[in-house]
């Protein structure tokens, strides 16, 4: 349990800084730090068990049908990474407190940082790879927020976008790869995958595609060549972010995954040549670019690329010892690189620049900073007795034992060149910033920073020295436990020493250091050589690729999706036709055996009316008002048919919906052209007619075929059980509020959202460009002088109590007789709309101050509370309960929990319908510039016209 | 006796419906069609009541009630649209 808590804590704690910022910056930083300390403390309680070799697991099923579980496990590798993430996270939080300027929104910063931290911890502790992928995507998102934290800087925004695109698309590939891997193994749990026989995985035909996709995911995240270009651009982030994301955490996620899947993926030649070669190229290219970067953070970024390449290469060697070296270097790199990033941040903070050409001679001006930089830089260069030296020596020893394409000498040569470059840029960081003559043109006067800024890197530098001097005592157990986890039992007995004796590796180191020192001594000449060489500009290429991708997807989307409803319908209907007729002609068919019922003459006439209504819609489709009347006729027949086929609930719903729909369409038609222009060519109309005719024939044939056969449906279950299980005799209503209450619940939420959306859209129309256009709009018709006829006002007033009574009646009887909350809601809404129609919206709204938003919210809440009520007494959501009571006078009656649910439905329907209609009509009044009438009805008919007032 | 009355009622309402269709399709003015629609609603109220009586059930009467309460609203809406453009001012 505490394992899951380690992951959840940062997410939960992420709200704290956002809230605590009101109490000041210190409180904000402290709240974030305490969350991290708590999580780190929880992690540390597991250390003894993990070092003993135990694997701690915890988990729950989430969607077992998909193989998706929420389960976590902690072994050596997870411990190492979680420790780095939380430990360096804590240091970064302290550092950031002093780094961020006064006007930077600190609450946001710590919230993003904690979210990112939680996502990272999630990656390294997830057992289920689908869960891991979720956290993986979360790191891409949260790092986007962090890199773009200074959103006023265009570089920050562009860098964030580039990082998101590169790591996000890598994440997509990773998803596919992981799914393939899970498919090969038959489980999505890492603990199962790692126990699987690796040879079986290697021999699977899916191995190569899975490997390629997973590697794309890892290489993009870990900035491996040729995906390395995003990392330097991400340096536009505040330095604490760079120190955190780009030294210890995010970029190491790819390396983590390579290490995690090492037991099952490594082994075949393709793994070696892909992973080791990519790592090697990245290592050399990264170091080469780093040497010529003037921006300190850019230098460190490419150095990180180079070191990540080295780890990738070691994992690519696929020997247990090389994996152990990679693990050791992960620790060492995190310590010295985080320290150096913080150091670069200090220089930037205190001198106002991080451009090496403007720096130099800071040694005596910033002695503490200089000391830290010299030690961490020496470790990065791989000088004894620091930890960077140890892992580099071990790496060189591994390289010496590895042949590349059968050539034993090739790899050591290239790696030595890489090491040489690495020494050179490390020296350059130290020499060009801190040594040389003091200058008098620093952008601001350099001095050592407050302790809050130098203590976190000093702590890390302390580790650099201690691990270098006493490697086995400090890091030995952790490296052994982690190696055991990476290699899944194939671990060699690793022991860490400072001194390995005079070995070929030492010779390579000496060459590298001497060459690096030479390069810095003659830096101007080296730089001139570099200057003459090619400099591919990654950002321009990336921008071109993105622009081309956008242009081609635009062409594709706009080509297919051109906004023509006719085209979409034609395609969909054609597809349905082809499938339907293909099925029809490849199977036996004929009408069923059921005897036909005779049709009464009355029904025949009603169907004739239906045909007339349909014909009218087709004939007068361009005259929109006539078409609405035709649709009204069709709706009336449908209602009549429901009555004829004994579905009174549906008939009542249909009748009410018809009225509301007509009003809604007419309200909207006020703002629309009254006639539909001819847009399609005659050819196209003929095509559409053929399609429509064939579809009608097909649908009719289907209906005929189904209805002439006997079939069983679900309805018999509802008919038999509605009374006993749902406590109601009206099966339709019991289905709505009980059997399928969850559907209804979803539907009323949709209805509420629709009402609110219409409101929001209409609200948006009363401003901006539309405001102007609507304001200038003139209705081209002569208005009758009867604005609010007395006859209508009187009738609607008289009818209001009647309508409300009918509404209540239909609502209450709904459970046992036709009716229910939905119909009652429509009835009441129509009753209220009548008042609006009679006396105008403005007048009525002044006297009927009902908050329809609250109706919608309240309705959904009441329905939810009724549903949750069942959960409180231990039944599933929305389980209905009912009982019978009797009172004097009233007699026996039933109380069902479904009634509460129905009240929710009722309120939402009233709120949704009224919100939409009322505001649509309000817009109409506003557009016509008519004042709100003071009287409910016209007391002097025609007065408006006689006075010739401006409302026309 | 009621049987005969029902047959007559069905006949009369159906005949009225046929006339309604005629007016609805033939027009010629918008108001002719709106009136045809309104009359059609009234005939349907009658048909539903007859149907309930013939089936000896009161189950359908609420549908007729709703039609008679709200049938005129659509008619009013069409008329207001024709007269004022905006049906709720």
The answer to whether position B7 is within a domain reads yes
Dist. CA A420–CA A647, nearest whole Å: 87
Dist. CA A765–CA A920, nearest whole Å: 11
In this structure, what token pair is assigned to residue A841? 């919206």
- Report the 10 Å Cβ neighbour count for A808: 14
| Chain mean pLDDT for chain A | 85
**A897 to A545, A718, A741, A881, A885: CA distances (angstroms):** 60, 19, 12, 5, 14
The answer to whether position B20 is within a domain reads yes
What's the ipTM? 0.95
> Tell me, what's the pLDDT at A1?
62
> Tell me, what's the pLDDT at A942?
56
Please answer yes or no on whether B66 and A656 come within 8 Å at the CB atom. Answer: yes
Residue A847 reports pLDDT greater than 50: yes
Which residues are within 8 A (CB) of B73 and not within 5 positions of it... i.e. 6 or more apart?
A: A659, A662, A663, A830, A833, A834, A837
* Nearest by CB: B81 against A625, A632, A933: A625
> Tell me, what's the pLDDT at A948?
44
The answer to whether position B49 is within a domain reads yes
A786 near B CB under 8 A: yes
The answer to whether position B58 is within a domain reads yes
The answer to whether A760 and A805 have CB atoms below 8 angstroms apart is no
Phi-psi region of A646 (alpha: psi -120 to 50; beta: other; left: phi over 0): left
Dist. CA A452–CA A447, nearest whole Å: 14
For residue A475, how far is the Cα from the chain centroid? 38
Token look-up 């020494």 returns A423
Is residue A126 helix, strand or coil? strand
> Tell me, what's the pLDDT at A34?
92
B59 to chain A: which residues are within 8 Å by CB? 646, 648, 817-818
> Tell me, what's the pLDDT at A308?
92
B→A contacts (Cβ < 8 Å), by residue, are 10, 13-14, 17-18, 20-21, 24-25, 30, 33-34, 37, 40-41, 44, 47-48, 51, 59-60, 62-63, 65-67, 69-70, 73-74, 76-78, 80-89
Dist. CA A498–CA A166, nearest whole Å: 39
Phi-psi region of A361 (alpha: psi -120 to 50; beta: other; left: phi over 0): left
Q: Which is higher by pLDDT, A717 or A697?
A: A697
Dist. CA A920–CA A754, nearest whole Å: 13
Interface test with A, best of B47, B63, B64, B72 (most A CBs within 10 A): B63
Host domain of residue B17: 2-84
In this structure, what token pair is assigned to residue A5? 């808590």
A792 to chain B: which residues are within 8 Å by CB? 76
Q: Which of A106, A49, A110 is nearest to A75 (CA)?
A: A49
B63 to chain A: which residues are within 8 Å by CB? 639, 642-643, 648, 651-652, 655, 818
Q: State mean pLDDT over A643-651.
A: 88
The answer to whether A896 and A881 have CB atoms below 8 angstroms apart is yes
Dist. CA B38–CA B35, nearest whole Å: 5
The answer to whether A664 and A613 have CB atoms below 8 angstroms apart is no
Please answer yes or no on whether B69 and A803 come within 8 Å at the CB atom. Answer: yes
* Number of separate domains in chain B: 1
Buried b (16+ CB within 10 A) or exposed e, A491-500: beebebebee
Q: Calculate the dihedral angle through the C-alpha atoms of A36, A39, A44, A50, rounding to the nearest 10 degrees.
A: -130
The answer to whether A339 and A461 have CB atoms below 8 angstroms apart is yes
Which residues are within 8 A (CB) of A850 and not within 5 positions of it... i.e. 6 or more apart?
A: A914
Which residues are within 8 A (CB) of A264 and not within 5 positions of it... i.e. 6 or more apart?
A: A181, A185, A193, A194, A196, A198, A201
A917 near B CB under 8 A: yes
Question: What's the alpha-carbon Rg for chain B, to the nearest Å?
Answer: 15
Please answer yes or no on whether B48 and A640 come within 8 Å at the CB atom. Answer: yes
| Number of alpha helices (DSSP H) and beta strands (DSSP E) in chain B | 3, 0
Residue A317 reports pLDDT greater than 50: yes
In this structure, what token pair is assigned to residue A415? 């790696």
> Tell me, what's the pLDDT at A310?
92
The answer to whether A232 and A202 have CB atoms below 8 angstroms apart is no
A662 to chain B: which residues are within 8 Å by CB? 73-74, 77-78
Q: B3 CA to chain A: closest CA distance, Å? A: 15
Is residue B66 helix, strand or coil? helix
Scanning A512-541 for CB atoms below 8 A from B yields: none
Is residue A890 very low, low, confident or very high in pLDDT (cuts 50, 70, 90)? Answer: low
DSSP per-residue string spanning A19-62: HHGGG-HHHHHHHHHHHHHHHHHHHHTTHHHHHTT--EEEEEEE
Token look-up 């436990």 returns A481
Is residue A884 helix, strand or coil? strand
Please answer yes or no on whether B33 and A659 come within 8 Å at the CB atom. Answer: no
A483 near B CB under 8 A: no
Buried b (16+ CB within 10 A) or exposed e, A451-480: eebbbbbbbbbebbbbbbeebeebbbebbb
Q: State mean pLDDT over A817-842.
A: 88
Q: What percent of chain A has pLDDT over 90?
A: 22
A787 to chain B: which residues are within 8 Å by CB? 84, 89
Helix (H) or strand (E) holding A221: helix A207-221
> Tell me, what's the pLDDT at A691?
92
The answer to whether A940 and A917 have CB atoms below 8 angstroms apart is no
Is residue A189 helix, strand or coil? strand
Dist. CA A105–CA A694, nearest whole Å: 63
Q: Which of A314, A176, A192, A295 is nearest to A242 (CA)?
A: A295
Dist. CA A284–CA A410, nearest whole Å: 14
Dist. CA B65–CA A830, nearest whole Å: 14
B37 to chain A: which residues are within 8 Å by CB? 629, 632-633
> Tell me, what's the pLDDT at A947?
47
Q: Which of A627, A703, A686 is nearest to A661 (CA)?
A: A627
> Tell me, what's the pLDDT at A279?
92
Residue B9 reports pLDDT greater than 90: yes
Token look-up 């190492």 returns A80
Which residues are within 8 A (CB) of A454 and not within 5 positions of it... i.e. 6 or more apart?
A: A346, A368, A369, A372, A448
Interface test with A, best of B34, B66, B72 (most A CBs within 10 A): B66
Interface test with A, best of B7, B76, B86 (most A CBs within 10 A): B86
Please answer yes or no on whether A601 and B14 come within 8 Å at the CB atom. Answer: yes
> Tell me, what's the pLDDT at A209?
92
Is residue A295 helix, strand or coil? strand
Helix axes A523-532, A410-434, angle to 10 degrees: 120
* A and B: number of Cβ contacts within 8 A: 157
pLDDT in tens, A43-92: 999 888 888 888 888 888 888 888 888 889 898 889 999 999 999 999 99
The answer to whether position B79 is within a domain reads yes
Cis geometry, peptide bond prior to residue A322 (ω within 30 degrees of 0): no
For residue A677, how far is the Cα from the chain centroid? 42
B25 to chain A: which residues are within 8 Å by CB? 612, 615-616
Residue of B nearest to A789 (CA): B80
Q: State mean pLDDT over A730-736.
A: 80
pLDDT in tens, A417-429: 899 899 988 988 8
What CATH number has the domain bearing residue B71? 1.10.287
The answer to whether position B89 is within a domain reads no
Helix (H) or strand (E) holding A705: helix A682-707
Is residue A943 very low, low, confident or very high in pLDDT (cuts 50, 70, 90)? Answer: low
A656 near B CB under 8 A: yes
The answer to whether position B38 is within a domain reads yes
Dist. CA A94–CA A453, nearest whole Å: 8
Is residue B47 very low, low, confident or very high in pLDDT (cuts 50, 70, 90)? Answer: very high
Please answer yes or no on whether B77 and A643 come within 8 Å at the CB atom. Answer: no
Dist. CA A242–CA A255, nearest whole Å: 18
């Amino acid at each position: 349990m505490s394992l899951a808590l380690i992951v959840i804590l940062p997410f939960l704690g992420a709200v704290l800084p956002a809230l605590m910022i009101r109490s000041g910056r210190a409180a904000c930083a402290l709240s974030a730090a305490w969350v991290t300390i708590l999580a780190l403390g929880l992690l540390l309680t597991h250390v003894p068990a993990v070092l003993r070799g135990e694997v701690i697991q915890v988990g729950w099923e989430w969607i077992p049908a998909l193989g998706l579980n929420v389960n976590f496990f902690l072994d050596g590798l997870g411990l190492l990474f979680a420790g780095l993430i939380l430990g360096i996270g804590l240091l970064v939080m302290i550092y950031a407190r002093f780094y961020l300027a006064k006007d930077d929104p600190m609450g946001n910063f710590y919230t993003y940082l904690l979210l990112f931290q939680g996502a990272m911890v999630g990656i390294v502790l997830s057992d289920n790879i689908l869960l891991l992928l979720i956290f993986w995507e979360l790191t891409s998102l949260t790092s986007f927020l962090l890199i773009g934290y200074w959103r006023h800087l265009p570089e920050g925004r562009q860098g964030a976008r580039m990082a998101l695109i590169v790591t996000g698309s890598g994440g997509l590939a990773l998803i596919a790869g992981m799914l393939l891997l899970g498919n090969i193994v038959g489980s999505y749990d890492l603990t199962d995958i790692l126990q699987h026989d690796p040879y079986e995985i290697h021999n699977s035909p899916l191995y190569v595609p899975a490997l390629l996709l997973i590697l794309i995911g890892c290489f993009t995240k870990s900035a491996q060549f040729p995906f390395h270009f995003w990392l330097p651009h991400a340096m536009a982030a505040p330095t604490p972010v760079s120190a955190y994301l780009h030294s210890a955490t995010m970029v190491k996620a790819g390396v983590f995954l390579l290490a995690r899947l090492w037991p099952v993926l490594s082994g075949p030649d393709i793994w070696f040549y892909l992973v080791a070669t990519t790592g090697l190229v990245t290592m050399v290219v990264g170091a080469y670019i780093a040497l010529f970067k003037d921006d300190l953070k850019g230098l460190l970024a490419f150095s990180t690329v180079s070191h990540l390449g080295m780890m990738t290469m070691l994992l690519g060697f696929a020997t247990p010892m090389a994996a152990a070296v990679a693990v050791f270097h992960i620790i060492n790199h995190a310590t010295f690189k985080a320290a150096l990033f913080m150091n670069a941040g200090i220089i930037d903070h205190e001198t106002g620049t991080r451009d090496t050409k403007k720096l130099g001679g800071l040694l005596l001006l910033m002695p503490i900073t200089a000391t830290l930089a010299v030690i961490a830089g020496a470790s990065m260069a791989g000088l004894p007795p620091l930890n960077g030296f140890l892992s580099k020596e071990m790496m060189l020893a591994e390289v010496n034992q590895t042949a590349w394409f059968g050539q034993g000498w090739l790899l050591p040569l290239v790696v030595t060149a890489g090491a040489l470059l690495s020494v050179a840029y490390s020296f350059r960081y130290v020499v060009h910033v801190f040594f040389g003559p003091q200058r008098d043109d620093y952008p601001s006067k350099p001095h050592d920073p407050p302790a809050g800024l130098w203590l976190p890197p000093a702590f890390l530098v302390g580790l650099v020295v201690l691990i270098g001097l006493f490697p086995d005592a400090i890091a030995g157990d952790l490296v052994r436990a982690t190696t055991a986890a990476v290699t899944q039992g194939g671990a060699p007995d690793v022991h860490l020493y400072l001194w390995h004796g005079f070995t070929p590796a030492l010779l390579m180191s000496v060459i590298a250091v001497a060459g690096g020192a030479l390069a810095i001594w003659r830096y101007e000449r080296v730089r001139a050589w570099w200057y003459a060489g090619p400099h591919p500009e990654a950002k321009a290429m990336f921008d071109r690729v993105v622009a081309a991708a956008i242009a081609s997807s635009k062409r594709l989307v706009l080509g297919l999706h051109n906004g023509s409803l006719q085209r979409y319908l034609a395609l969909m209907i054609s597809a349905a036709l082809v499938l339907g007729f293909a099925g029809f002609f490849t199977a036996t068919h004929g009408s069923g055996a059921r005897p036909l019922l005779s049709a009464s003459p009355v029904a025949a006439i009603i169907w004739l009316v239906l045909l007339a209504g349909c014909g009218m819609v087709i004939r007068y489709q361009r005259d929109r008002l006539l078409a609405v009347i035709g649709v009204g006729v069709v709706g009336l027949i449908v209602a009549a048919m429901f009555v004829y086929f004994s579905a009174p609930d549906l008939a009542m719903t249909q009748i009410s919906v018809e009225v509301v729909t007509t009003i809604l369409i007419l309200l909207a038609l006020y703002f629309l052209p009254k006639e539909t222009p001819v847009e399609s060519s005659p050819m196209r109309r003929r095509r559409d007619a053929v399609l429509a005719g064939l579809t009608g024939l097909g649908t009719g044939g289907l209906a005929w075929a189904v209805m002439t056969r006997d079939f069983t449906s679900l309805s018999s279950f509802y008919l038999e059980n509605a009374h006993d299980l749902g406590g109601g005799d009206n099966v339709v209503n019991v289905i709505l509020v009980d059997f399928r209450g969850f559907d209804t619940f979803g539907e009323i939420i949709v209805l509420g959202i629709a009402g609110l959306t219409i409101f929001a859209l209409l609200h948006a129309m009363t401003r901006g460009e539309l405001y102007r256009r609507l304001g200038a709009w003139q209705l081209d018709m002569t208005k009758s002088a009867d604005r609010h006829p007395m006859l209508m006002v009187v009738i609607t007033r008289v009818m209001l109590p009647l309508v409300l009574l009918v509404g209540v009646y239909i609502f209450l009887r709904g459970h046992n007789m036709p009716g229910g909350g939905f119909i009652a809601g429509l009835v009441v809404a129509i009753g209220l709309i009548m008042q609006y129609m009679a006396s105008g919206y403005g007048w009525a709204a002044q006297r009927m101050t009902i908050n329809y938003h609250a109706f919608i919210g309240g309705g959904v809440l009441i329905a939810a509370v009724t549903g949750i009520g069942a959960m409180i007494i231990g039944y599933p959501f929305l389980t209905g309960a009912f009982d019978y009571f009797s009172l004097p006078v009233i007699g026996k009656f039933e109380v069902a929990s479904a009634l509460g649910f129905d009240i929710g439905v009722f309120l939402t329907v009233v709120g949704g319908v009224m919100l939409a209609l009322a505001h649509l009509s309000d817009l109409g009044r506003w557009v016509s510039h008519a004042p709100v009438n003071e009287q409910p009805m016209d007391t002097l008919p025609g007065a408006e016209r006689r006075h010739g007032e401006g409302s026309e | 006796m009621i049987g005969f009355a029902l047959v007559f009622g069905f006949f009369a309402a159906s005949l009225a419906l046929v006339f309604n269709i005629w007016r609805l399709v033939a027009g010629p003015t918008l108001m002719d069609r709106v009136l045809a629609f309104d009359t059609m609603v009234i005939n349907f109220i009658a048909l539903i009541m007859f149907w309930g009586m013939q089936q000896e059930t009161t189950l359908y009467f609420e549908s007729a009630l709703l039609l008679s309460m709200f049938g005129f609203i659509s008619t009013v809406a069409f008329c207001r649209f024709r007269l004022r453009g905006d049906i709720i001012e």
